[in-house]
Structure 1
Amino acid sequence: MIWNSAYLDPHLNKVPKHIYSQIVNDEELPAEKSDAIYIAIIGGGPKGFYALDRFISKAIDQNIHKPINIHWFNHNREFASGPHFQPTLPSYLIMNDCIAEISCWEEPESSHYIPNRLKLIDWIHQNKSAESNPNPSDFCSRELMGLYLMDALHKTLSHKPNQIEVSLVNSNILDMDIHMDRVQLTSSKKTLPFQYESAIFCTGHSYSNMEEEDLLASDCNENILYLPQTYPVELLDEIPAQVDVAIKGIGLTFMDAVLHLTEGRGGIFYKQDHEYRYLPSGYEPIIYPFSRRNLPMLPRNAFWNGNKYELKIMNEDWLNLLKSRNEPLNFERDILPTYNLEAQLAFYSYTHATQELTSAEILEFIDTFDATKLFSISALIDPMTYSKVQMETNYHEFIVDLSIYSMKLSDQGELKSPMAAAIAAIREGFYLIAELFSHNGFDEESQESFEKYWQGFINHTAFGPPRDSIDKLFCLAKDGYVKFMFSEEPVIEVQPEALLLKNSYVEKEFNFLIDARIPKGNLKLKNNKLYERMRRKGYVQEIVNGNYSNGKIAVDREGKLIGNIQNGLIYLYGIPTDGTYLQNDSLSRETNNFSNTWCQPTLERIKNKSILESRPNYSLTFTNVNYTNLTPN
């Protein structure tokens, strides 16, 4: 089942209104109080909420009684949910993980200032109006997730101690300065008059795609419509019905675009013989996707703790052995062979011909069989070569056939199906690779190839949309509403009346182009005004490994900025730390949780400041004193 807000108690619809009613702009912030401590959280999505909750919880645990004002800044009013989970999203945009795997709270502690902190599955059960009970394998809409996050924020604000004031500030922060180890922020309107003892930047997806900016300037041709971003999805309403539209990027954002241009235009998906069928509305365009790999993502099956594939070779001993080398690793040499073997073992453990064999027997089979005919990571990367299909073949037919094959090999989940198990092994193995990346690092050459090639492949393969979304995509592909035309990434040429997309085998003209990629942070591209200004002032530095620099922001192991920040407490959390750490585009509170490492030094500074202020201020004043000579004659 896929849950959405229609299945919940209607009283939850009031929660966003409660949040919106508390939002102020930077002109409405109360004047600075001399006896208060000021803290800044920049970014109002889930990570910003996690930082707020963690700080309040830690301040209570450490008996901080000094007045603290937390200014939480966001460029819109969707506090806690952020733009990707806001409660107004259409219900056909769904979460990528099942409801049993999601929680906006950290693991239960012995005590907490908020009672009844529920995981998503338990929250749905408590608030449902439907008769059905949620199952661990169920999924939910992103708008329901937004309600869950906003309800958690509502509880947080309702239970916080009186000495902690929280201001939800609808303001776009564009600059930062440091004065005497304290932070001063500048919004789009003015420099704020507050001196913040500490700041954490949780800005999430705050970058912009700039690669096509010069080529496709908005005034280049009135016959060409170029959309450089997909969100909010209402931007796609500019695409007319029944036209050909090219979409750059075939990832998670692409899936949102496809569903909004079909189901979002009145098309209806329905099940017949356990397969999706599509009833068109007549308002759909014909979609032509392309990307570097030109392959659709593979489905993410439902998994949760206690019900997921367990690695067999990439275990703790293997991990600790590589960690103990205390030197940069080479991904292709030190990790990839074992990673590939893990995926192969998972695949053949559930393949009909080999599923009765032991793990040792399967490994012997892999070692002795013709490597060119074995399933492998390389086969997933380049299925055309693996299948020995010619590049000039009908690529759309190849993708449809490949989808049917892949879905059949994953339809029973990762504990029963070979393809699903292999994808799960790649997913679980990636978490260990991320741990090695942050602990040892990769050597210069390997880091470049990993970031430019392998990381994208892994994300594309192991962190795809849920099965339901992929089923809809391939239904549309079979019916011709999505056409995979380009087996090789095409180049884009601006023609007098249209855009020409062509590669070595095919070419086609388009008047409509959508960039459906989530833009990555890149200091070289200057695609974020705030971080670019911080870079110019020396507060932000680029990650450099030998002669390789990747445009990412350098932070230390605890998420603190590496730059000329003196003793300032400035931390990053979530997506902005991408580059030093992997897999930060996650709702998990366990993965790279820099809200914890930010809280501790911040609270220590507050306590030290309180101690200094509480010390008596002794002074000696000598006025109108008669001095007596006590020295004997």
Structure 2
Amino acid sequence: MTRPALVIVGAGPRGTGLLERIAANAPELYDGPGLDIHLVDPHPPGAGRVWREEQSPLLWMNSHAEDVTMFTDETVEMAGPVRPGPTLHEWAGLDGRVFAGRRVQGAYLRWVYERTVAALPPGFVVHRHARRAVRVDGPREGRQRVWLEGRTRPLLADLVVLTLGHLDARPDAEQRELSRYARDHGLVHLPPHFTADSDLSALRPGEPVLVRGFGLAFVDLVVLLTEGRGGRHDGDVYVPSGREPVLHVGSRRGVPYHAKIGYDWTGARPPLPRFLGPAEVDALLARPDGFDFRRDVWPLVEKELGFAHYHRLFSAHPERVRGTWADFEARYAEADRAARAGLVAAAVPGPADRLDLAALDRPLDGVRYRSADALQEGLRRYVEDDLGRRRDPEHSPDLAVFLALLSVYGQLVRLGDIGGWWHGFFSHLASGPPAPRLRQLLALNRAGVVRFLGAGMEVSAEDGVFRASGASVPGAAVRARALVEARLPQPTVERTRDPLLRALHAGGAAATPDGLLAVDRSDGRVLDRSGRPHPRRFALGPHTDARGSGAFTRPRTGGAAFRQNDATARAALAFLRTPAGPAADAHPLFEESTR
């Protein structure tokens, strides 16, 4: 009897997480004649591309070491068994509050992969293929063929799971035009890319560089162009090497993401979910006319975040409120948005204690500065205030909102593609840089190495240069020969550089309006354009409409990615136990086998 075969395309954290769930569920669900698991990825297993150990030691993780785990716990709502394991800080012997280097995370992920392979049942063999997969074909009811770059014979598979991770993208129309202009005029244009993989050598010392994007890709860019070029931070002072360019940074918001919160939770947690849980998601999914995020979903999100904020304010800081929590909660639950505003105004005297999501999202809306220098002073004050607030437990409702954001994210995964705005909002509030990075940013601004452009940044190409302006200083503009897009590519199936995903879409796989691969949210099966799930193809990760946040799972937070991995692993094992299909040819020769 031919041994069943599973091909997993992508050996990074998501592929490793799926493999861990296969190992955990196999004793219950699989009694077949062994299993060949083919793991296809040109990058190291476990770490993959983004977390590989061979990258600059200057680059950090964006989460505290204690907030990173690859292992399930009893908070994960899944059918499979819990298989506990150490967090990053427990495994590495680190202070839990430290922001570990990405090399350390890569080593942790490599260890998780090796431990997972060792935990597979007897008869399960992992075959590693350090190549790219370029195409998947085969009949719906028969074995699939996975074609690898540089190979003339395909891998044969009963099932294929795509865990592709973050992907490069071909430039959109604006980026193509900017690149063309740069070529024609001898300029430098770096389109959206993974900063650690970018060639920054064309950015000359001392020259002005326009940078569009103020998120985590920008933080990496700054590190590589300052410390990476020999500069150093001496306390709150940056000592330049003289090799740095001058970075003029702006974005739509015009401010960096909020710093990570620097204190721990104490006391009772808000009982979440409260206003956006499984029942509310079921109701949204059952709407015959569908739902609109702003009209139908956002009001529930807003109410959930407010509930967590005020629960914490009443329970931890009662001297700053009027009345009792019981009375406030009862009225809050029944109130619409307008009534909630009046309720909050009466119960919370201090404006700084009221949750204003619009102001958090767009803090510079309507704010104007008289000069570029005044803008630098204003934004330094903004960052300093944010740093102070994020390390002060007197503002602990901020941490409650963070917990509510995690809860909301876990629920919204079930809704599929809800557009990009929510993901940007979540990242701005909940997935910002370590506080030390923002303190370094202040030092770089004082040293003149980084200059702020403010909100509403607009870029044009004219008179042989790039030009940037913004709404924060009307009439002001900066001209430069170099423009860097400090943001990740958008993972759309039409613009991805991944040939497998493009071919899958061209062959009939469905995509959402935002260009994400459509999958069955119950188990990750790829959907065709009629909504029919493919029986032998699955997909997990940011290229799908079941994507979660980009961050690693925090312990004891439910872990939507864990839940998805478990569901896909169980569906795959149940299918592979009695695969239906024609007899297979012999497998191709394998480059490496590991048990």
TM-score by length of 1: 0.76
Quote the offset at 1:301 in angstroms: 2.2
- Whole-Å separation in 1 of the counterparts to 2:375 and 2:390: 22
Quote the offset at 1:300 in angstroms: 1.1
- Whole-Å separation in 2 of the counterparts to 1:309 and 1:262: 43
- Whole-Å separation in 2 of the counterparts to 1:569 and 1:610: 10
Query: Which residue, out of 177, 194, 206, partners 2:167?
Result: 206
Pair 1:83-2:41 in alignment: no
Partner of 2:68 in structure 1?
A: 102
Partner of 1:45 in structure 2?
A: 12
Query: Which residue, out of 571, 574, 577, partners 2:541?
Result: 574
Residues 141 and 417 of structure 1, relative CA distance in 2, 3 Å threshold: farther
Residues 192 and 222 of structure 1, relative CA distance in 2, 3 Å threshold: farther
Pair 1:331-2:331 in alignment: no
- Whole-Å separation in 1 of the counterparts to 2:30 and 2:280: 41
Query: Which residue, out of 149, 157, 179, partners 1:196?
Result: 157
TM-superposition CA deviations, 1:155-181 (whole Å, max 9, x none) = 334454552221221111121112343
- Whole-Å separation in 2 of the counterparts to 1:227 and 1:469: 23
Partner of 1:437 in structure 2?
A: 412
Pair 1:461-2:439 in alignment: no
Partner of 1:410 in structure 2?
A: 390
Partner of 2:589 in structure 1?
A: none
Residues 40 and 267 of structure 1, relative CA distance in 2, 3 Å threshold: same
Q: 2:525 touches 2:534 (CA, 8 Å); kept in 1?
A: no
Quote the offset at 1:292 in angstroms: 2.0
- Whole-Å separation in 1 of the counterparts to 2:466 and 2:41: 37
Please give the residue correspondences for 1:451-490 in structure 2 after superposition, counting only pairs within 5 Å. 451-490=419-458
DSSP-derived class of the 1:592 partner: helix
Q: Which amino acid in the other structure matches residue 600 of structure 1?
A: R
Quote the offset at 1:252 in angstroms: 1.0
Quote the offset at 1:104 in angstroms: 2.0
DSSP-derived class of the 2:177 partner: coil
Quote the offset at 1:514 in angstroms: 1.6
Residues 259 and 289 of structure 1, relative CA distance in 2, 3 Å threshold: same
Pair 1:226-2:189 in alignment: yes
Partner of 1:19 in structure 2?
A: none
Quote the offset at 1:459 in angstroms: 1.5
Residues 292 and 65 of structure 1, relative CA distance in 2, 3 Å threshold: same
Total equivalences in the alignment:
542
Structure 1 unaligned blocks of 5 or more: 1-33, 126-133, 544-548, 614-633
Pair 1:310-2:269 in alignment: yes
Quote the offset at 1:56 in angstroms: 3.0
Quote the offset at 1:202 in angstroms: 0.9
- Whole-Å separation in 2 of the counterparts to 1:235 and 1:311: 46
Q: Which amino acid in the other structure matches residue 280 of structure 2?
A: L
Residues 85 and 333 of structure 1, relative CA distance in 2, 3 Å threshold: closer
Structure 2 unaligned blocks of 5 or more: 333-341, 584-595
Identity of aligned residues (%): 18
- Whole-Å separation in 1 of the counterparts to 2:81 and 2:274: 36
Quote the offset at 1:348 in angstroms: 8.7
After TM superposition, the structure 1 stretch with the greater mean CA deviation from structure 2, 351-360 or 99-108, is 351-360
Q: 1:523 touches 1:553 (CA, 8 Å); kept in 2?
A: yes
Q: Which amino acid in the other structure matches residue 504 of structure 2?
A: M
Residues 160 and 308 of structure 1, relative CA distance in 2, 3 Å threshold: farther
- Whole-Å separation in 2 of the counterparts to 1:231 and 1:384: 27
TM-superposition CA deviations, 1:569-589 (whole Å, max 9, x none) = 211112122x34442553569
Query: Which residue, out of 155, 162, 168, partners 2:128?
Result: 168
- Whole-Å separation in 1 of the counterparts to 2:260 and 2:569: 34
Partner of 2:115 in structure 1?
A: 155
Residues 518 and 308 of structure 1, relative CA distance in 2, 3 Å threshold: farther
Please give the residue correspondences for 1:339-378 in structure 2 after superposition, counting only pairs within 5 Å. 339-340=305-306, 342-343=308-309, 354=320, 359=325, 366-368=344-346, 376-378=356-358
Pair 1:248-2:212 in alignment: yes
Choose 1 or 2 for highest CA Rg.
Answer: 1
Quote the offset at 1:315 in angstroms: 3.9
Quote the offset at 1:344 in angstroms: 6.3
- Whole-Å separation in 1 of the counterparts to 2:377 and 2:497: 38
Quote the offset at 1:531 in angstroms: 1.7
Partner of 1:561 in structure 2?
A: 526
Quote the offset at 1:349 in angstroms: 7.7
Q: 1:40 touches 1:196 (CA, 8 Å); kept in 2?
A: yes
Query: Which residue, out of 479, 500, 512, partners 2:482?
Result: 512
TM-superposition CA deviations, 1:358-386 (whole Å, max 9, x none) = 65799887323799885511221232347
Q: Which amino acid in the other structure matches residue 167 of structure 2?
A: S
Partner of 1:257 in structure 2?
A: 221
Please give the residue correspondences for 1:124-143 in structure 2 after superposition, counting only pairs within 5 Å. 124-125=92-93, 134-143=94-103
- Whole-Å separation in 2 of the counterparts to 1:349 and 1:405: 24
Partner of 1:541 in structure 2?
A: 510
- Whole-Å separation in 1 of the counterparts to 2:268 and 2:248: 35
Q: Which amino acid in the other structure matches residue 592 of structure 1?
A: A
Query: Which residue, out of 234, 255, 258, partners 1:270?
Result: 234
TM-superposition CA deviations, 1:208-261 (whole Å, max 9, x none) = 261302331387235211222243346223322222112221111111111111
Q: Which amino acid in the other structure matches residue 525 of structure 1?
A: R
- Whole-Å separation in 2 of the counterparts to 1:116 and 1:381: 37
Residues 331 and 512 of structure 1, relative CA distance in 2, 3 Å threshold: same
Partner of 1:500 in structure 2?
A: 467
- Whole-Å separation in 2 of the counterparts to 1:168 and 1:537: 27
- Whole-Å separation in 1 of the counterparts to 2:281 and 2:92: 41
- Whole-Å separation in 2 of the counterparts to 1:400 and 1:210: 33
- Whole-Å separation in 2 of the counterparts to 1:92 and 1:347: 38
Q: 1:500 touches 1:508 (CA, 8 Å); kept in 2?
A: yes
Q: Which amino acid in the other structure matches residue 599 of structure 1?
A: A
Q: 2:414 touches 2:546 (CA, 8 Å); kept in 1?
A: no
Residues 115 and 570 of structure 1, relative CA distance in 2, 3 Å threshold: closer
DSSP-derived class of the 2:92 partner: helix
Higher relative contact order (CA 8 A, sep 6+): 2
Partner of 1:382 in structure 2?
A: 362
DSSP-derived class of the 1:215 partner: helix
TM-superposition CA deviations, 1:379-420 (whole Å, max 9, x none) = 21232347x5458673222111111122122223xxx142x6
Partner of 2:244 in structure 1?
A: 284
Quote the offset at 1:556 in angstroms: 1.1
Partner of 2:336 in structure 1?
A: none
Partner of 2:591 in structure 1?
A: none
- Whole-Å separation in 2 of the counterparts to 1:104 and 1:473: 31
Partner of 1:131 in structure 2?
A: none
Quote the offset at 1:190 in angstroms: 4.0
Q: Which amino acid in the other structure matches residue 453 of structure 2?
A: M
Q: 2:273 touches 2:408 (CA, 8 Å); kept in 1?
A: no
- Whole-Å separation in 1 of the counterparts to 2:62 and 2:86: 20
Residues 154 and 385 of structure 1, relative CA distance in 2, 3 Å threshold: closer
- Whole-Å separation in 2 of the counterparts to 1:43 and 1:611: 25
TM-superposition CA deviations, 1:170-197 (whole Å, max 9, x none) = 1111211123432211223245433201
- Whole-Å separation in 2 of the counterparts to 1:117 and 1:440: 30
Q: Which amino acid in the other structure matches residue 142 of structure 2?
A: D
Partner of 1:398 in structure 2?
A: 378
Residues 467 and 349 of structure 1, relative CA distance in 2, 3 Å threshold: farther
- Whole-Å separation in 1 of the counterparts to 2:302 and 2:263: 24
- Whole-Å separation in 2 of the counterparts to 1:84 and 1:160: 26
- Whole-Å separation in 2 of the counterparts to 1:520 and 1:309: 39
Q: Which amino acid in the other structure matches residue 404 of structure 2?
A: G
Partner of 2:492 in structure 1?
A: 522
Partner of 1:186 in structure 2?
A: 147
Q: Which amino acid in the other structure matches residue 344 of structure 2?
A: I
Residues 425 and 159 of structure 1, relative CA distance in 2, 3 Å threshold: closer
